[in-house]
Structure 1
């Protein structure tokens, strides 16, 4: 037997041969781990909110890459209406490298928004990106 062989044993009853033993041999290499995958991104990313359109809540995901300076970047995630008025600040803090998910619930507390188009913007370091979302009531 070489290193890439796998033997699997089990039982199965066959009424014709009255046999209940089988052995299967696989001669393929089996993957047992993740090779060459970098789990921390090397670039900023702002995902489209989900669900979109939404009611009553939506989730916004974003990725902060590892930075060579060793200093966590200041991250700002804000929501704006179509006139450019700031509606909400969802994140305003330094964030370590990683993937983040923020839930936006516009019908709770101070945000009682009407149906319509809104924008959310991520600023982190020199990265700035804006996306559109639709609230339907």
Structure 2
């Protein structure tokens, strides 16, 4: 519980509120959530400016399996849900390209 005191001296208790604050000063590709997933995962990324974005998923030998995002997007935090129900267990790299920025991370699918 959190105690909130108003300007007039009255107070009440409220549930604890949690906020997630991200810097949008740089491009960033986040680790998928959950890191080991069945069958879908959330992939988040930050754009420091309006950009042409391509987010893709690959197999371990580099072949592209899916394009999750392929569009121009505004500055800020974005996320996309990746459903891998049609793929076997394994390690899958994912790649973000936004303007001149490129980053790649790996996710683990366990079935």
TM class, shorter-length = 0.7 to 0.9
Give the unaligned 5+ runs of structure 1. Answer: 1-5, 11-38, 67-71
| Number of aligned residue pairs | 96
CA distance in 2 between counterparts of 1:63 and 1:97 reads 7
Structure possessing the higher radius of gyration over alpha carbons: 1
Q: Which has the higher strand share?
A: 2
Deviation of 1:8 (Å): 3.2
1:81 maps to 59
TM-score, normalised relative to structure 2: 0.79
Q: CA RMSD in A?
A: 2.1
Distance (Å, rounded) in 1 between the aligned partners of 2:82 and 2:96: 14
Equivalent residue number for residue 117 of structure 1: 91
CA distance in 2, matches of 1:85, 1:129: 16
The higher-RCO structure (CA 8 Å, 6+ apart) is 2
TM-score normalised by L of structure 1 = 0.65
Unpaired runs of 5+ in structure 2? 1-6, 12-21
What is the CA distance between 1:41 and its match in structure 2?
1.2
